[in-house]
């Protein structure tokens, strides 16, 4: 039977008007990140010149940016750039055609270049204006240098740039004069357990459903453990479960369904070589803690090797092969370390531009 028909029938029984777990962005469903929202919103309202938002793929950067657009469009002129220009010509075209919007005669009389367009922006922008740039890590060095110049010469222009963590590192290392102008730096990590469940609830209710049905509470806790709270991964896991339930004609999605499905479509993340023998367990701090398998692996690595960065942990446990990229492996370890810190098992110290982590129980 056609899967589209099966899905439609299954969703209709639950009153869903559409699949709640597609990747469509709903700015009105901004779940979690309360501190980040407040920080960037205050920066926009205060006309702070430059704000940075960084987060891994799927952390919710675009959703946050579109929420900012909707929330502030009545008080500010806001321009949203889904991707930064890849060259000077594209940047010039955007500034001229989207922001300045000169008439035919003005365009004919004025020869715009990146070296003089900030003068026109200064003259024309008589109200606070915000330029929001998504995927800013893809911006060229020329584009970032122009942004630095514009921030200094256009009084009513503020810029919010969002990208992967490498964007912040690039600014620090290569365009520090721009990085130093950032008055607000927000790092999106992941949702906590309650926020992840609330994301599912609001998505279902947005589609016309009720509460968490068809998911059980335990099923969503299992999804949270598997996805580590990254919004896009939560949605992906829920979508896989819904499609499977529709295909199998199931009305309830429980913990076992989640485990069976995820185990079939993802590689097992356990490390068979990570088990310690009985003699080691007797003296191990980690062995006495109630941890998940992956948490125990990370904590054991810190116990054995001493302070390490998240990247060092990835290398020590050879985790890169288990994920689609090294950045995904580091992201996973960062979230495990975050949970261990929340439980007072691990602490961290800044070392240069990064952090090193260690067991709190005297392992530093």
CATH class of domain segment(s) 3-26+191-265: mainly alpha
* Fold match between domain 3-26+191-265 and domain 34-188: no
Residue 267: pLDDT band with limits 50, 70, 90: very low
Does 45 score more than 60 pLDDT?
Answer: yes
Give the predicted TM-score (pTM) of the model: 0.67
How is domain 276-359 classified at the architecture level of CATH? Orthogonal Bundle (1.10)
3-state SS class at 212:
coil
pLDDT digits (tens, 9 = 90+) for 170-222: 898 888 999 999 999 998 888 889 999 999 999 999 999 999 999 999 999 99
Average pLDDT of the residues in 259-271: 57
* Counts for the chain of helices (H) and strands (E), in that order: 17, 7
Structural domain spans, the chain: 3-26+191-265, 34-188, 276-359
The rounded distance, in Å, linking the Cα atoms of 133 and 123 is 22
Element of type H or E holding 117:
helix 117-124
> Which run of H or E residues covers position 202?
helix 193-206
Task: Give the pLDDT of residue 263.
Answer: 64
What local confidence, expressed as pLDDT, does residue 104 receive? 58
- Taking each helix axis as running N to C, give the angle between helix 293-305 and helix 310-317, from 0 to 180 degrees, rounded to the nearest 10: 100
> pLDDT value at position 215?
95
If DSSP codes are grouped into helix, strand and coil, which group holds residue 95? helix
Percent of the chain at pLDDT exceeding 90: 29
- Mean pLDDT of all residues in 255-274: 60
Q: CATH fold of 34-188, please?
A: Rossmann fold (3.40.50)
Residue 156 CA neighbour count, 13 Å, CB half: 15
């Amino acid at each position: 039977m056609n899967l589209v028909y099966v899905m439609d029938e299954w969703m209709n029984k639950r009153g869903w008007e559409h699949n709640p777990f597609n990747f469509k962005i709903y700015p009105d469903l901004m779940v979690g990140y309360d501190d980040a929202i407040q920080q960037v919103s205050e920066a926009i309202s205060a006309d702070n010149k430059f704000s940075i938002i960084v987060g891994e793929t799927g952390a919710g950067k675009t959703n946050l940016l579109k929420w900012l657009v909707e929330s502030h469009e009545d008080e500010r002129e806001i321009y949203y750039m889904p991707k930064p220009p890849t060259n000077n010509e594209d940047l010039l075209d955007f500034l001229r055609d989207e922001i300045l919007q000169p008439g035919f005669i003005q365009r004919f009389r004025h020869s715009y270049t990146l070296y003089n367009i900030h003068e026109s922006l200064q003259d024309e922008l008589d109200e606070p204006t915000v330029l929001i740039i998504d995927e800013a890590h893809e911006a060229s060095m020329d584009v970032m240098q122009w942004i630095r110049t514009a921030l200094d010469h256009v009084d009513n222009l503020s810029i919010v740039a969002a990208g992967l963590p490498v964007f912040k590192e690039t600014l620090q290392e290569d365009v520090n004069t721009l990085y130093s102008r950032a008055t607000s730096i927000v790092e999106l990590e992941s949702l906590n357990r309650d926020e992840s469940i609330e994301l599912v609830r609001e998505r279902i209710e947005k589609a016309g459903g009720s509460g968490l049905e068809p998911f059980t509470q335990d099923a969503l806790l299992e999804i949270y453990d598997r996805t580590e709270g990254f919004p896009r991964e939560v949605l992906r896991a829920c979508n896989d479960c819904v499609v499977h339930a529709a295909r199998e004609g199931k009305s309830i999605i429980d913990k076992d369904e989640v485990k069976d499905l995820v185990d079939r479509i993802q590689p097992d993340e356990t490390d068979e070589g990570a088990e310690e023998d009985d003699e080691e367990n007797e003296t191990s701090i980690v062995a006495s803690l109630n941890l998940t398998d992956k948490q125990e692996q990370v904590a054991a690595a810190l116990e054995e090797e001493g302070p390490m960065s998240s990247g060092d942990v990835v290398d020590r446990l050879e985790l890169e092969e288990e994920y689609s990229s090294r950045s995904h492996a580091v992201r996973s370890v960062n979230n495990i370390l975050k949970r261990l810190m929340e439980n007072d098992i691990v602490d961290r110290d800044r070392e240069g531009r990064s952090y090193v982590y260690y067991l709190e129980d005297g392992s530093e």
